[in-house]
Amino acid sequence: MKNSLKIFAGDLKNSFKDLLPIIVVVALFQGLIIQDVPDNLATIVIGLIIVAIGLALFIRGLELGIFPIGEGLAVDFAKKGSVFWLLLFAFTIGFATTVAEPALIAIADKAAVISHGLIDSFWLRMTVALSVGFAIALGTLRILLGHPIHYYIISGYIIVVGITFFAPKEIIGLAYDSGGVTTSTVTVPLVAALGIGLASSIKGRNPAIDGFGLIAFASLMPMIFVQAYGILVYSTSATATKTVEIVSKVSEKGKAVAYHFDWMNIFWELINTIMDVIPILAVIFFFQYLVIRKSVAHLHKIITGILMVILGLYAFIVGLEMGLFPIGETIALQLTGMGNNLLIYLFAFLIGFSTTMAEPALLAIAIKAEEITEGNLKQNVLRIVVALGVAIGISLGAYRLVSGDPIHYYIIAGYILVIIFTYFAPKNIVPIAYDSGGVTTSTVTVPLVAALGLGLAENIEGRNPLIDGFGLIAFASLFPMLTVMGYGIYATHIKKKLKQSIQKGENV
């Protein structure tokens, strides 16, 4: 018990360190630029403390419950030798965890509004969930076959770019964003554990090269499926007009609302968190007991870990609603009304960096990356490099929104750079880089980025919040791939130079 408390105290300390960049950014803009002290300062401080406690619980729960059971399932499937059941498990876990994803439900509801009902919210969710299920099954098959990941990912990017020129403009931003919101905070660690466990169990596979990449598939496929779905349901004459009713709905979402303490809200938030996790647990235990037919080792630890994940995620979400979202949305809306574009880009950069550093899904992947690479890729280094990519992406996305340029030109240019970087980056960094794009758009980042996009689109003349307000999430998913591979290329170059220097010294 004493040792457990000591470990948790360390996790809590690290959580506060992770939140420090967000606090600094918010304080800087609120105090020096906006020059206004928020009325609900005490609530904000309490909210941030709850976020730190939630993050610490979540990470400890992952280590106790989600990682072991995910890797254990992968090992058992590999021993069982049934490709059918393994691929069915991969598909089911992808579908079940995506269809109930809150961020996807929000995006689907907005899509229904944008399309005047042409895009049905339910069927859009089904399309995205099917695409994620298919993506994780395909990614699992790639691990089994041992194919290089970049052949699949580059082919996918070519399809995304090709279909963009045929998709209606009202669906493009949503399609790009749907790829970013599918990888939830609980799904990412489980899928990562599945891939790494599978690669570790198959002879001739390298966990660092073959184990990562499933999240990249889950981020890529929805962009293809949603654009194809948009082409099917849109008629050639259909356009999305900005009616008074639609604008009022989006504007209500864009307003920053102070958090009001309500026991019923807190209760339903807990129920919603449990409901998000139940489909994942149902799939896991169904396959564990009815397909593999083997009891779970250290079940009490696994259950404790799962409960900690639920409580941690719940506290994290409540804390965000109390402390971060109200003030973040307020600053975003106030900046758009100040008429200084440079401040908007600076805020986008800093909020992108700071929120990514606190992203639980990224932290989970970074922990596994450090473990698999035996400490060669430090988790803090990976998180900083990924956060830098998100910061660049969101600030560039904000510039695109302000300037009114078509989103697909930027995305296409980004994908071309990803393809070029893939051929120069070390093989063991490429799958981690691809996955980095999927884990950056989760619990913390998505709501703040969405609020910033809608706030900009609502306040800039000539922009339609229903078309131009989306797309920032796509930028936040794309650029971390470039920065992580760029870091890999740079690190390899430095190692090579150091080796040459040592050899020269020995020859002398």
Residues in the chain, how many? Answer: 508
pLDDT digits 0-9 by tens, 217-244: 888 899 899 889 888 887 544 443 332 3
| Backbone φ, ψ for residue 444 (5° rounding) | -85, -45
- Hey, what long-range contacts does 487-493 have (CB within 8 A, 24 or more apart)? 487/381, 487/385, 487/429, 488/425, 488/426, 488/429, 488/430, 488/433, 489/421, 489/424, 489/425, 489/426, 491/426, 492/426
Q: Which alpha helices (DSSP H) does 373-471 contain, by range?
A: 379-403, 407-424, 430-439, 445-459
Does position 399 have pLDDT exceeding 50, yes or no?
Answer: yes
Q: Tell me what pLDDT residue 118 has.
A: 76
Compute the mean pLDDT over every residue in the chain, rounded to the nearest whole number: 80
Which tens digits make up the pLDDT trace of 459-505?
777 776 666 777 788 888 889 999 999 999 998 888 888 887 777 77
Residue for token pair 């290089």: 148
Query: Pick from 381, 354, 353, 356: which is nearest to 366 by CA?
Result: 381
Tokens 């082919």 -> residue? 155
pLDDT tens per residue, range 147-201: 988 889 889 988 988 898 888 877 887 788 777 767 666 677 778 888 888 888 8
Q: Print the SS3 string covering 30-60.
A: HHHHCCCCCCCHHHHHHHHHHHHHHHHHHHH
Alpha carbon distance 508, 505 (integer Å)? 5
Question: Could you tell me if 77 and 294 are in contact, meaning their C-beta atoms sit under 8 angstroms apart?
Answer: no
Coil/strand/helix, residue 494 = helix
Q: Which pLDDT does position 235 carry in this prediction?
A: 58
CA distances from residue 65 to 58, 62, 182, 237, 388 in whole angstroms, order as listed = 10, 5, 22, 52, 30
Per-residue b/e over 81-107, b at no fewer than 16 CB within 10 Å? eeeeebbebbbbbbbbbbbbbbbbbbb
> Are 318 and 53 a contacting pair, CB within 8 Å?
no
In one-letter notation, the amino acid at residue 354 is S
Residues 342-346: what's their mean pLDDT?
88
Please provide residue 122's backbone torsions phi and psi, each rounded to the nearest 5 degrees: -65, -50
| Largest distance between two CA atoms of the chain | 79
Contacts of 102 by beta carbon, 8 Å cutoff, 6+ apart: 272, 276
Burial class (CB in 10 A: 0-12, 13-18, 19+), 304: middle
Question: What is the pLDDT, as a whole number, of residue 243?
Answer: 29
The closest alpha carbon to 205, from 361, 365, 73, 75, belongs to 75
Q: How many other β-carbons are positioned within 10 Å of the β-carbon of residue 267?
A: 10
The 3-state DSSP class for residue 235 equals coil
Alpha-carbon span 310 to 274, nearest angstrom = 7
DSSP letter at 295 equals P
In whole angstroms, what is the distance from residue 221 CA to residue 133 CA? Answer: 9
The Cβ-side half-sphere exposure at 213, using a 13 Å CA radius, reads 31
Q: Output the pTM of the full model.
A: 0.75
Q: Between these two residues, 169 and 282, which has the higher pLDDT value?
A: 282
Q: Show the tokens assigned to 380.
A: 């803090």
Minimum mean pLDDT among 28-37, 87-96, 425-434: which range? 28-37
Buried b (16+ CB within 10 A) or exposed e, 124-136: bbbbbbbbbbbbb
